[in-house]
Structure 1
Amino acid sequence: MDAELAQIGPRLRAARREHGWTLEDLATRAGMSVSTLSRLESGKRQASLPLLLPLTRQLGIRLDDLLPVTPIDPRVRRTVERRDGMVIAPLTLEHSPVQTYKVTYPATEAAPAPRVHDGYEWLYVLSGRLRLALNDHEHIIERGEAAEFDTRMPHSLSATGDGPAEVLSIFSASGERMHTHGAP
């Protein structure tokens, strides 16, 4: 926490300099003494809300802009799900605007019943052969091929009978709920 607070002064100084202002310019605009602002920027005076608010208002920045960005762990550590013979591995963080999964479909001779729901899906076949039943037509998507479709059309996905299929699937939010969590 002390290391974060120590960055307030240099960030304040940088914001002031971006405006091309002297210590006196900003101090006058913020209604404080030049020495107070100088001590804030040099870290010799502890920052407080009553001191920072007029400064940030004059500089047109937020208080958060004076603090370092907290690094987030970019690794995806979500639980792999197994359902109806499928293995569903999340590849994006839970709150990402678009959800991506690696789905392994088990071999099956027949396509499951088609479903319709709001959403959009893009997929890419990593291995095996994927059966995409879409609007009463069956398409076999081979390894290295991609497909995209509006999930408001009747559709189902499954591997063919000759073996499992590994697929990267990208869903809009509503498509993700239906495909990875099952029908409501």
Structure 2
Amino acid sequence: MKQEDDELDSLVRKRVRALRVAQGWSLEELATRARLSPSSLSRIENGQRRLALDQLVTLARALDTSLDQLVETDTDDVIVSPLIDNAHGRMQWPIKAEPGMIVIRQRMTEPPPDNPARMRAHPGREWMVVLSGTAVLLLGNRRLRIETNQAAEFPTMLPHAIGVEGGPCDVLGIFDRDARRGHKE
């Protein structure tokens, strides 16, 4: 138990420093935001001062994160293996998201369906970013080309389908809770 506590303590200290540096803040700037002295913050980051819960809450707020994220230890599933859906010409990498949301990276190989009856509609909202290639989004009566580094956002109550044009396409899709449920059916 002591070793686990020491590992968590060290991880939190590293996160505080990494988040501060990522923001481009000096010790003085974060200390001011967290209402600590720069020397206290320095000792916290260097392990020379004990971490107190009230300080962690204040530091999390000052760093614009949550206490949960600051002390998160679940790193068991860092590597995500793809799920292969040969029936739809997709390879998907599920990625953790906020509660109720899901982020999926997909490699798509099939063109959009020719038959409008294969378009889906369900409650929710979807966002997608094309990482490489060209995606085709059928949305109601519209046919939209979405190229590398372009994004789309749409309500999923509109009949929709997604496919590719001119070869494989990598897409990052973000689904709210309702849209996620609609794709599981």
Per the shorter chain, which TM-score range? 0.5 to 0.7
Partner of 2:84, secondary structure, is strand
Aligned match of 1:166 in 156, 161, 170? 170
Aligned match of 2:120 in 115, 120, 124? 115
TM-score by length of 2: 0.54
TM-score by length of 1: 0.55
1:119 & 1:165 partners in 2: Cα distance? 24
Q: Is the 8 A contact 2:113 2:161 kept in 1?
A: no
Aligned match of 2:103 in 91, 100, 105? 100
Cα displacement (A) at 1:178: 3.2
The one-letter code sitting in structure 2 at the alignment partner of 1:104 is: R
How many residue pairs match? The answer is: 119
Cα displacement (A) at 1:82: 1.3
Residues 107 and 134 (structure 1 numbering): CA distance in 2 closer, same or farther, change over 3 Å?
A: same
1:109 & 1:151 partners in 2: Cα distance? 16
1:176 & 1:109 partners in 2: Cα distance? 20
Partner of 2:137, secondary structure, is strand
Aligned match of 1:178 in 151, 159, 182? 182
Q: Is the 8 A contact 1:88 1:103 kept in 2?
A: yes
Q: Is the 8 A contact 1:92 1:100 kept in 2?
A: yes
What does residue range 21-32 of structure 1 map to in structure 2 within 5 Å?
A: none
Q: Alpha-carbon deviations, 1:74-128, whole Å to 9, x = none?
A: 75444421112210111216x7432101111114274562110111101000111
Higher helix share: 2
Residues 111 and 82 (structure 1 numbering): CA distance in 2 closer, same or farther, change over 3 Å?
A: farther
- Which structure is larger by alpha-carbon Rg, 1 or 2? 1
Cα displacement (A) at 1:4: 7.7
The one-letter code sitting in structure 2 at the alignment partner of 1:148 is: E
User: 2:54 aligned with 1:86, yes or no?
Assistant: no
Q: Is the 8 A contact 2:82 2:93 kept in 1?
A: yes
2:145 & 2:182 partners in 1: Cα distance? 22
1:3 & 1:110 partners in 2: Cα distance? 56
Hey, what does 2:130 align to over in structure 1? Answer: 125
The one-letter code sitting in structure 1 at the alignment partner of 2:148 is: R
Partner of 2:121, secondary structure, is coil
What does residue range 51-90 of structure 1 map to in structure 2 within 5 Å?
A: 71-73=73-75, 75-83=77-85, 84=87, 85-90=89-94
C-alpha RMSD of matched pairs (Å): 3.0
Partner of 2:182, secondary structure, is helix
- Runs (4+) off by over 3 Å: 2-5, 74-79, 109-112
Matched residues, percent identical?
29
